Amino acid sequence: MRETTIPILPCRTIQPVLDFYTALGFAVTFQQKSPNPYAVVELRGIQLHFFAMKHYEPAESYSTCYIRTDDVDGLYEAFRTGLKAAYGRVPTRGLPRIGTLKDTSYGMRQFLVTDPGGNCLRIGQQTSQDQRHRPAPTEPFARALHHASLFADSKEDPAGAAKIIDRVLRLEDGQPTPVQLLRLLVLRADVAVRLGDEATARTALTRAAAVQLTDRERRSVSDDLRRLEELST
């Protein structure tokens, strides 16, 4: 037997959701306006269904689904390109938005996309056979990075991530490595942007750009350097 799982996700009105997914490269393959608004979008092996609810509040949504792919980098770049063409910029906060692409502590390389209906798509590619969360490191700066990344991108709690980073950067005993410092500052700028704190974002970006890295270190933080460039433009 062959089974297929199809998420059916809520929204307040259908059209803004369809416009968003069209920008990502999806095709609208079905749309019903009455008696109940309903639509289907498809991209390659991804199929999503949507239904409208008059009293639905997108900002309070907990709806989510996970999409596995064998080309997460390709989808990420395609989605960003489509969003920039449609919106004139890549939306990183509010609704809709797209998060950062990064390797997780549980064997996935992933990014998050949240549509105008508040539905969060977690899109990832498996990088390890071990899908369990790795234990948090004991070293203070590595531990802070571990937890702040989870708060920012898994729990979608940028304020919580900011508190973790601010606390560890105030430590007087010990200093982060250049790689740790860069990653902490880029993540701090990222969550500051999401929180609408432009002053803190600019300060963190300036500090991050001044971190000196060797060529080998730069290769190890290529995702963070790309995010630094995106946030600085």
> Residue 27 sits in a domain of what CATH number?
3.10.180.10
- Based on the fold, state whether residues 158 and 119 are members of the same structural domain: no
pTM for the structure as a whole: 0.84
199 is in which domain, residue-wise? 140-232
Structural domains of the chain, count: 2
Question: Is 2 among the domain residues?
Answer: no
Instruction: Report the largest interatomic distance among the alpha carbons of the chain, rounded to a whole angstrom.
Output: 65
The model's pLDDT over 174-230, given as tens digits with 9 standing for 90+, comes to: 999 999 999 999 999 999 998 999 999 999 999 999 999 999 999 999 999 999 998
- Based on the fold, state whether residues 15 and 107 are members of the same structural domain: yes
Q: What is the pLDDT of residue 136?
A: 86
Nearest to 144 by CA among 173, 184, 110, 103: 184
- Based on the fold, state whether residues 44 and 153 are members of the same structural domain: no
- C-alpha 111/C-alpha 108 separation (Å) is 10
Kindly state the tokens that stand for 195: 């929180």
The model's pLDDT over 138-183, given as tens digits with 9 standing for 90+, comes to: 999 999 999 999 999 878 899 999 999 999 999 988 999 999 999 9
Q: At 82, is the pLDDT very low, low, confident or very high (cuts 50, 70, 90)?
A: very high
Nearest to 230 by CA among 108, 89, 123: 89
